Structure 1
Amino acid sequence: MRDETVVPVGSGLTRIAVSAQTSAGAVRPLNEDSFRAAAPLFVVADGMGGHERGDVASRTAIAALAERVPADAVPTVDELIDAIAAANEAVRDQSQRDGVEGVSGTTLVVLALVRGAGDAPYWMAANIGDSRLYEWTGRELTQLTVDHSFVQELVDTGRLTAEEALVHPERNVITRAVGVRPDVVADIWLLPVSGEQVFLLCSDGLTRELSDDEIAEVLMRHGAAGEEGSVADALVEAAVAAGGSDNVTAIVVESSSASALVDDDASDRIASTRERPGAALEDTLPRAGGGAA
């Protein structure tokens, strides 16, 4: 799919074009990924493979976010944080209604246009789990989010290289997920809305099959060659052709703003959502260097 819209925030206008695609891949019969691609909210959710009803968990999380942030309604930062908390509660409630005995959960990566002080626009990015957000400059691809995964913890503490993490037997283990614990903590960034910007949201089915360099090559080739179909189609097709061992989802958001509307200082990272009592790692394995709460 591909769509274009203009979103008014404060006294400015941001033109947004979005393309999105998802696939079960070449191996798995069920697609546990879900997504929403309707300005001002863009979300990818990857139901936890190997757990019960991951597909229901991802759909439920998306539906809860969409209910709190309907199309064309630009939220505040606090409203989006509350929407993420509501998604966590909705997944837990759905699991209880369905009588799920095991663990049902989902990753979440969010990009949304939000209202800051004086209604100034910002991009707000948030993630829980190992679904990712990238920024593409036309030449360089930069990962903005940090994976909440067991292997990422090992990389961060120097016990594993990035190359070793790609083939580690526990590379699928995530250390946070939506719907697993009563409280959920998302990492959050505020980014300036400025000029031409391109963002990629994706599940790990894309990054498992394609390196960052290969993703950048698809983005560059598609933009330069004007291939048929959307850039999200091209990314998903490339991941499936490379093996498609997992469900794969990609959303590409292209925005255009007349001028820089916020200071660059706004790109500072907020360490987490509001500190909530009992917030802990949503997984059965501890993070490297520490025990599970």
Structure 2
Amino acid sequence: MSEEPTTGTFGGLSFAVGVVTDPGRRRPHNEDAYLAQAPWFLVADGMGGHQSGALASSAVVRAFTEVKRRVPVSERTLRKCLNAAARYTDQLSTQTFDAPGSTVSGLVFGSSATSETKTVDQLLVFNEGDSRTYRLAGGQLEQITTDHSQVQELVDAGLMTPQEARVSTSRNVITRALGAMSGPYAHADIFTIPARVGDRFLICSDGLSDELEDQQIRALLLEHEDPQEAAHRLTKAALNAGGKDNITVLVLDLLAGAGA
């Protein structure tokens, strides 16, 4: 991965993106995969053992790279890609691997027009599993996605505090994933938000969010203006905190051309 962020334009929107992926300190293999090619920006975290997990996350990325787009994406197209990702991952279970599956989280450049236009004015944020997408805007960090996990359900029900969830032995038990848990269909959440100049997005696997609390993530995103440097610093901090899992960090900045 280059030390310089990747820059580009799509649908009148200028952006810069930095990505780092690392196996962590305890695992010899990296089962994460990512895609940072407009209009797609996503992170997939594979499961099922090092061979199955890597194949599953790669299958998710393949489903999106097969769809070449020159105009903003509709929600219908996004759902087709997610279902293709689920189908490709589910097909791996017919081989000799252990129940392969993958989480996925990310965003795509979209348009609010009924028929697709060439101008990006909204973002479609999505997730299935416990990989996350955050937005940093006005100095405030917001987790846009909601984890599909056992502990998040307990937090939502008022039976566990967020602090208890962070240290629970069940924190990595997820309730949704592409492939192993859902079969050939995706059950992802999709959120529509405006595309605004100056917003910064963080997409990550749980190897980051399990090691760092939100205030630590916010501080590092604010401290480092360059998205590639921010991705490196976040990864380093997660490694220093233990690095118990694979870590993938994607930082995306919206630079110019988006809506106000």
1:6 to 5, 9, 18: 9
Distance 1:26 1:138, change over 3 A: farther
Distance 1:85 1:231 in 2: 32
Distance 2:24 2:83 in 1: 30
1:132-174 Cα distance to aligned partner (Å, 9 max, x none): 0000125211100000000000100011110110111111100
Distance 2:58 2:258 in 1: 36
1:114 to 102, 110, 117: 110
Which residue identity lines up with residue 107 of structure 1 in the other structure?
T
Q: Which runs of 5+ in 1 are unaligned?
A: 262-293
Number of positions where the alignment pairs a residue of Structure 1 with one of Structure 2: 251
TM-score in terms of structure 1 length:
0.81
In structure 1, the residue matched to 2:96 is 99
TM-score in terms of structure 2 length:
0.90
Contact 1:193-1:257 at 8 Å conserved across structures: no
RMSD across aligned positions (CA) = 1.9
Relative contact order: is structure 1 or structure 2 higher (C-alpha 8 Å, sep ≥ 6)? 2
Q: Which runs of 5+ in 2 are unaligned?
A: none
In structure 2, the residue matched to 1:127 is 127
Q: Which moved more, 1:193-202 or 1:30-39?
A: 193-202
Which residue identity lines up with residue 199 of structure 2 in the other structure?
Q
1:63-94 Cα distance to aligned partner (Å, 9 max, x none): 111112x3645322211110100010011123
Task: Look up the SS of the partner of 1:209 in the other structure.
Answer: coil
Contact 1:129-1:176 at 8 Å conserved across structures: yes
Distance 1:30 1:183 in 2: 27
Matches within 5 A, 1:137-286: 137=137, 139-180=139-180, 181-223=183-225, 230-258=229-257, 260=259
Percent identity over the alignment? Answer: 38
Task: Look up the SS of the partner of 1:243 in the other structure.
Answer: coil
Distance 1:230 1:39 in 2: 20
Runs of 4+ residues over 6 Å off in structure 1 = none
Q: Which moved more, 1:130-139 or 1:205-214?
A: 130-139
1:250-292 Cα distance to aligned partner (Å, 9 max, x none): 101101344526xxxxxxxxxxxxxxxxxxxxxxxxxxxxxxx
1:84-137 Cα distance to aligned partner (Å, 9 max, x none): 0001001112332x333x311000002000233152531000100000000012
Task: Look up the SS of the partner of 2:18 in the other structure.
Answer: strand
